[in-house]
């Protein structure tokens, strides 16, 4: 597609899904993708839309930068997940009309997929519940900050796009997205629609407890060992309102754990009584650390993530810091302590 295309931009304003649908229907070859180290929301949103687009006879593929995490293999009964390989995918990508990018927060988190899409000037559609600036890099920008999960936005879309009920295959993805992004219907983002989606999923015959077991009762022994290692060395600040921990590559090695094993650790630490904010500083490489912030909901923490070059949701955000672990710990703990102290003082004064 070239020339004058109608650019859609719903940046956290009411979304006209009819317009989105017209645009999607005008495309024949559509690629779906999400961020690296994908989670249940990005993957589930892909599955939700994939089966619908296949039903309406689109040439659709899911191509992600990362391979499918093992706990989500149940989403892949039809072998629909591909991980990007230049020599395998570029010929097809060159002919793609539209790339739909889910749950990305920051487009660069699609890594080589973004580079490939840019190489062939593919039109892009961002579907996300993370904040995006008005100057965004996408052709079309569809953002709903109130959505508990990106999967809820796919649900909204399918309700408009389809005459018939949403298929069981699609609902499996949408349920996965909502369940994981609401922390199993526990977090403050859990809303009426999340539960409506759960009801519709159960009516569709989806075995919700099996999904839960696949994702959350499948921890490796290595993950559990790593959990024990850092839990016994937690650091508390500000009368225990802040709890932080760091994980080094050495700890990972000693536990024979993988990078993906640290997913969810920050949520576990937030669950401690009295802790309002939890922070993980994870040594990704010798000179790069990933930082995760979680808040119970009293104090926003995405401004803290932004101040060190990251971003995300108000109560769940993150950043990448280019320094060694010790420097990252010093800097992040300091900044978080100061910022949180200010927030605590402000609340007291009110």
Residues in contact with Mn ion by the rule CB under 5 A = 41, 103, 150, 181
Contact 341, 238 (CB under 8 A): yes
Please give the residue whose beta carbon sits closest to Mn ion in the complex: 41
Query: Given the complex with Mn ion, which of 93 and 105 has the nearer CB atom?
Result: 105
74 vs 63, 70, 172, 256, 330, CA distance in Å?
Answer: 17, 9, 9, 25, 41
Query: Given the complex with Mn ion, which of 41 and 276 has the nearer CB atom?
Result: 41
Query: Given the complex with Mn ion, which of 71 and 283 has the nearer CB atom?
Result: 71
Cα–Cα distance measured from residue 148 to residue 167, given in angstroms and rounded to the nearest whole number: 21
Q: Which two tokens stand for residue 284?
A: 């990704």
Block residue for tokens 């599955």: 47
Query: Given the complex with Mn ion, which of 50 and 105 has the nearer CB atom?
Result: 105
E strand residue ranges, the chain: 9-11, 29-34, 59-64, 81-83, 98-102, 123-128, 140-143, 235-237, 242-247, 277-285, 288-295, 311-312, 316-321
Query: Given the complex with Mn ion, which of 44 and 269 has the nearer CB atom?
Result: 44
DSSP 217: S
Task: Give the nearest distance from C-beta 173 to Mn ion in angstroms.
Answer: 13
Task: Give the nearest distance from C-beta 180 to Mn ion in angstroms.
Answer: 8
Task: Give the nearest distance from C-beta 144 to Mn ion in angstroms.
Answer: 11
Task: Give the nearest distance from C-beta 236 to Mn ion in angstroms.
Answer: 29
Task: Give the nearest distance from C-beta 103 to Mn ion in angstroms.
Answer: 4
Query: Given the complex with Mn ion, which of 40 and 230 has the nearer CB atom?
Result: 40
Task: Give the nearest distance from C-beta 61 to Mn ion in angstroms.
Answer: 21
Instruction: Classify 18 as helix, strand or coil.
Output: helix
Q: At what angle do helices 168-181 and 208-216 cross, to 10 degrees?
A: 50
């Amino acid at each position: 597609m070239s020339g004058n295309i109608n650019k859609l931009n719903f940046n956290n304003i009411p979304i006209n899904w009819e317009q989105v649908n017209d645009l999607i229907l005008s495309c024949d070859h559509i690629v779906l993708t999400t961020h690296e180290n994908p989670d249940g929301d990005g993957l589930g949103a892909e599955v939700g839309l994939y089966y619908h687009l296949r039903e309406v006879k689109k040439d659709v593929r899911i191509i992600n930068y990362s391979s499918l995490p093992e706990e989500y293999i149940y989403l892949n009964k039809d072998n629909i997940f591909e991980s990007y390989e230049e020599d395998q995918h570029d010929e097809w990508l060159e002919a793609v009309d539209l790339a739909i990018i889910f749950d990305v927060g920051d487009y660069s988190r699609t890594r080589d997929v973004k580079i490939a899409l840019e190489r062939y000037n593919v039109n892009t559609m961002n579907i996300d519940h993370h904040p995006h600036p008005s100057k965004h890099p996408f052709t079309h920008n569809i953002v709903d900050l109130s959505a508990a999960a990106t999967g809820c936005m796919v649900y909204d879309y399918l309700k408009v796009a389809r005459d018939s009920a949403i298929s069981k295959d699609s609902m499996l993805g949408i349920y996965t997205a909502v369940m994981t992004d609401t922390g199993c219907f526990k977090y403050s983002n859990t809303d009426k629609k999340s539960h409506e989606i759960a009801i519709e999923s159960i009516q569709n015959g989806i075995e919700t407890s099996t999904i839960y077991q696949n994702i959350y009762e499948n921890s490796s022994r290595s993950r559990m060992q790593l959990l024990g290692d850092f839990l016994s060395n937690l650091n508390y600040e500000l009368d225990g309102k802040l709890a932080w921990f760091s994980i080094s590559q050495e700890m990972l090695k000693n536990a024979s754990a993988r990078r993906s094993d640290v997913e969810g650790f920050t949520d576990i630490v937030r669950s401690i009584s009295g802790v309002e904010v939890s922070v993980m500083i994870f040594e990704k490489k010798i000179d790069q650390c990933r930082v995760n912030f979680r808040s119970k909901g009293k104090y926003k923490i995405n401004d803290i993530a932004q101040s060190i070059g990251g971003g995300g949701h108000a109560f769940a955000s993150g950043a990448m810091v280019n320094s060694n672990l010790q420097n990252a710990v010093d800097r992040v703990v300091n900044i978080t302590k100061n910022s949180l102290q200010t927030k605590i003082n402000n609340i007291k004064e009110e």
